[in-house]
């Protein structure tokens, strides 16, 4: 059957357009949370007078929540429904956002990490529920393309998160550099810290209110019950079955490295750009804000590229496209490493165009043909987001070295880690393409 002739959001006489729109709105919500958080590594480092490695604990707490809650989310969804999983995810998201207020009152770094962890436990429920739910809203043959379309709304939320981070947090924080803050007395530092933290929490409290509104909309909406009929739970047997599938097992590995690469490229573009612009004589605060603008450009390119890739998927095999985009990302990353000027930053922005189709395409390929097992399969792929928790601190540790050898910037050298990640993604795309050719010939 020609998949270009299949309806994208209709199946067996059911029109999924309205449920698709409602659930797709959730993709923007977790995109916002992801990309307002990336610049916070730099912000918390300044506010609490920490190095980059300590600031990167934000990512450890953030993506640790994804890892911890993925399989509990799958069990919950199996026992109840996709809709129930989404509602619980939104509730935890809102609670985590509101926990920023008591964290500010305590004035300590670690309560913020706890708030991030609770928030992302909610995101874990959301993603474990919403991604496979979207796959069920139409014919299986174009499920990967449908997920790419839904995921195209994720970077819209990401753009909003970046915009808010730049204009309502970074631009309003005290412009005093980390080195200058280190010279303050304890009393002066405490006053500045509380002022900065009050600025930092405001967007989180606002998004918490928006999430509650979304919770109420989904609570009252009539949603399809696709995949909710079988309530039986055979956790051990199901895990053994899904991880025996080569395509799925390799997909979990590829997703781990892809998410790690994405978070590294979007988190440390601020450090990379700041070094480039400060070498041109710019002050640190101005360099950081300008670097964030480049991050926003990267996200716009990411968003456009995902839409283009979704369209091209009508004509090209997803595995083949995944391989091509990963190879291109690797080439641009080499430019990031070896070009120590604005062209290296341009290459880092271009990497985002290549990353655009990777997450949903790996997801769709890995879950293809899994049926109701997709609930647990989705959990494994969400757990793979742990790559965004483990790899950024490793890159931060390299950046904290300052230089490698005599004079090579450590921030440039640190991008060897995303390069390795893109090699793994290209390998998975190659394996998937080979399997698809065998299936067609069979």
Select from 175, 190, 224 the last residue of a domain. Answer: 224
Q: What phi and psi, each to the nearest 5 degrees, are found at residue 14? A: -100, 135
Q: Tell me if 79 sits within 8 A of 231, measured CB to CB.
A: yes
Dihedral-angle region of residue 421 (phi above 0 means left; psi in -120 to 50 means alpha; beta otherwise): alpha
For residue 409, what is the DSSP state? E
Does residue 51 sit in helix, strand or coil?
Answer: coil
* 333/374 same-domain check: yes
pLDDT for 385 equals 82
Contact 26, 217 (CB under 8 A): no
Indicate the residue among 224, 252, 287 that finishes a domain.
224
User: What does the pLDDT read at residue 376?
Assistant: 81
Please report whether residue 4 resides in a domain: no
Note whether 367 and 416 are same-domain residues: yes
Where is the domain boundary, 224, 245, 270?
Answer: 224
User: Strand, coil or helix: what is 15?
Assistant: strand
**Do 217 and 320 fall within a single domain?**
no
| 316 and 214 housed in the same domain | no
**DSSP secondary structure letter of residue 224:** -
Is the separation of the CB atoms in 242 and 248 below 8 Å?
yes
Domain range spanning residue 180?
Answer: 9-224
Q: Which residue has the tokens 């291109």?
A: 328
Q: Tokens for 40? A: 């916070």
CA-closest candidate to residue 30, choices 158, 118, 206, 128: 158
14 three-state secondary structure: strand
Same domain as 213, residue 294? no
Query: In this predicted structure, what is the pLDDT of residue 13?
Result: 66
Q: Distances from the Cα of 283 to the Cαs of 116, 399, 411, in angstroms?
A: 30, 20, 18
pTM of the predicted model, to two decimals? 0.78
- Do 325 and 372 share a domain, yes or no? yes
* CA gap 411, 271 in Å, rounded: 7
Residues of the chain with pLDDT under 50: 1-4, 441-442
**Is residue 324 one of the residues assigned to a domain?**
yes
Q: Is the residue at 3 inside a domain?
A: no
| Nearest-angstrom CA–CA distance, 400 and 409 | 10
Query: Does residue 37 lie within any of the structural domains?
Result: yes
Question: What pLDDT was estimated at residue 1?
Answer: 37
Is residue 399 in a domain? yes
CATH at residue 202: 1.20.1250.20
Virtual torsion, Cα 53, 57, 59, 63, nearest 10 deg: 140
Same domain, 380 and 354: yes
Helix/strand/coil for 12? coil
* Whether residue 115 is found in the same domain as residue 147: yes
Please, are residues 264 and 298 in contact by the beta-carbon 8 Å criterion?
no
Domain for residue 1, yes or no? no
Tokens of 23: 């659930």
Same domain as 149, residue 13: yes
Q: Decide if 2 is inside a domain.
A: no
Tell me, what's the pLDDT at 235? 65
pLDDT of residue 3: 44
Tell me, yes or no, whether 285 lies in a domain. Answer: yes
213 & 251 share domain: no
Are the CB atoms for 345 and 282 separated by under 8 Å?
no
Structural domain total, the chain: 2
- DSSP-based three-state secondary structure for 282: coil
81/83 Cα distance (integer angstroms): 5
**85 lies in the same domain as 180:** yes
Same structural domain for residues 242 and 217? no
């Amino acid at each position: 059957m020609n998949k270009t002739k299949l309806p994208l959001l209709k199946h067996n006489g059911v029109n999924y357009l309205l449920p698709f729109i409602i659930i797709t709105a959730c993709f923007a919500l977790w995109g916002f949370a992801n990309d307002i958080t990336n610049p916070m590594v730099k912000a918390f480092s300044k506010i609490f007078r920490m190095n980059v490695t300590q600031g990167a604990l934000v990512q450890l707490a953030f993506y640790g929540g994804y890892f911890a809650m993925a399989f509990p989310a799958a069990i919950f969804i199996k026992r109840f429904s996709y809709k129930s999983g989404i509602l619980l995810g939104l509730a935890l998201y809102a609670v985590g956002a509101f926990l920023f207020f008591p964290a500010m009152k305590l004035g300590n770094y670690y309560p913020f990490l706890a708030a991030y962890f609770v928030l992302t436990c909610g995101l874990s429920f959301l993603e474990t529920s919403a991604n496979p739910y979207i796959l069920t809203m139409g014919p299986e043959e174009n499920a990967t393309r449908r997920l790419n379309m839904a995921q195209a709304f994720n970077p819209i939320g990401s753009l909003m998160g970046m915009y808010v981070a730049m204009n309502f947090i970074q631009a309003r924080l005290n412009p005093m550099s980390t080195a200058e803050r280190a010279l303050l007395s304890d009393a002066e530092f405490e006053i500045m810290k509380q002022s900065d933290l009050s600025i930092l929490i405001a967007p989180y409290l606002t998004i918490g209110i928006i999430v509650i509104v979304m919770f109420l909309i989904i609570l009252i909406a009539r949603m399809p019950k696709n995949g909710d009929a079988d309530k039986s739970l055979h956790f051990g047997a199901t895990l053994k079955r899904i991880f025996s599938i080569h395509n799925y097992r390799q997909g979990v590995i590829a997703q781990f490295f892809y998410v790690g690469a994405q978070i590294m490229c979007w988190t440390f573009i601020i450090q990379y750009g700041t070094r480039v612009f400060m070498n041109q004589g710019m002050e640190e605060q101005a360099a950081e804000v300008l670097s964030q603008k480049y991050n926003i450009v990267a996200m716009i390119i990411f968003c456009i590229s995902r839409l283009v890739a979704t369209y091209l998927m009508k004509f090209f095999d997803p595995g083949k496209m995944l391989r091509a985009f990963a190879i291109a990302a690797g080439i641009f990353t080499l430019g990031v490493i070896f070009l120590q000027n604005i062209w290296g930053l341009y290459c880092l922005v271009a990497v985002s165009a290549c990353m655009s189709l990777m997450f949903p395409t790996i997801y769709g390929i890995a879950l293809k043909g899994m049926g109701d097992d997709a609930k647990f399969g989705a959990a494994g792929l969400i757990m793979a987001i742990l790559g965004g928790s483990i790899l950024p601190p490793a890159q931060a540790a390299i950046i904290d070295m300052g230089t490698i050898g005599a004079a090579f910037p450590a921030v440039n050298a640190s991008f060897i880690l995303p390069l390795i990640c893109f090699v793994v993604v290209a390998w998975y795309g190659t394996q998937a393409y080979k399997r698809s050719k065998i299936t067609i010939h069979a």
